[in-house]
Amino acid sequence: MARRPTLPSSSPAHEERAKGGSRAAGGSRTRSDAARRSDRTVDVREWASGIRLSGFAAIMLSLVVLGTWVLVPTVGTYLDQRQRIAALQDAVQLTEDQIAELEHERVRWEDPAYITTQARERLYYVKPGEVVFLVDNDLDPAELPPEQREVSDEIQERPADWMPQLLRSITSSGMAKTAVEAPGR
């Protein structure tokens, strides 16, 4: 866009240039020049009047604005659809992995030896004539609860409210780690 030539104005900077001011002459700035520059304000009307807008430029600008107005929602919709497609593809992949795992599990259940092993481990089934030994408290030493004090034979009476003591006992017994899950599960 071309700018229309403007008439010389009476701004301090223009007067300084017209007089061959301190910058052109190589001198130093004076305090009054700096004060004049800081007091100078920008006149928006003067700046805006220098912009010349032809009919063609106005039409092109309106087409750019219209194109942006039309395409931005379309691009947003496209990006949203791409995100949904990616999420659905991930869900499909996850489902296919689960299907493959279940098919593998089904193939294992067709093996009579696997069925026998599972019946022994899960349901504690035995063949006739076999003796089963169940080991109680077969925990890792690291997973055992902390060692407890010895139990006394004497009965001691404590002056305490029984309800909070009962709740503490129930809570501590429920949170105690007494068994581990089988490694195959």
Range of the domain at 37: 9-51
46 and 78 belong to one structural domain? no
Strands (E), the chain: none
pLDDT of residue 96: 96
Q: List C-alpha distances in Å: 18 to 10, 21, 43.
A: 10, 7, 20
pLDDT of residue 52: 77
- Please say if the pLDDT value at position 69 is more than 60: yes
Q: List C-alpha distances in Å: 11 to 5, 32, 45.
A: 16, 14, 15
85 and 119 belong to one structural domain? yes
The answer to whether residue 17 is domain-embedded is yes
40 and 75 belong to one structural domain? no
Please write down the long-range contacts of 171-177, taking CB distance under 8 Å and 24 or more positions apart: 176/145, 177/143, 177/145
The answer to whether residue 86 is domain-embedded is yes
| Residue at token pair 């497609």 | 85
What domain count does the chain have? Answer: 2
pLDDT of residue 17: 53
| Mean pLDDT calculated for residue range 157-162 | 75
- Highest mean pLDDT pick, 75-89, 122-136, 152-166: 75-89
The answer to whether residue 37 is domain-embedded is yes
Q: Within its chain, how far is the Cα of 40 from the centroid?
A: 49
For 53-68, the pLDDT digits (tens) are: 788 888 989 999 998 8
Query: What's the CA gap between 110 and 61, in Å, rounded?
Result: 73
- Please say if the pLDDT value at position 136 is more than 80: no
74 and 116 belong to one structural domain? yes
The answer to whether residue 177 is domain-embedded is no
pLDDT of residue 68: 87
What is the pTM assigned to this prediction? Answer: 0.36
For 12-54, the pLDDT digits (tens) are: 555 555 555 444 444 455 556 655 555 667 777 777 777 777 8
pLDDT of residue 25: 46
pLDDT of residue 24: 44
Q: List C-alpha distances in Å: 20 to 5, 25, 37, 105, 166.
A: 22, 6, 16, 94, 99
Percent of the chain whose pLDDT exceeds 90? 25
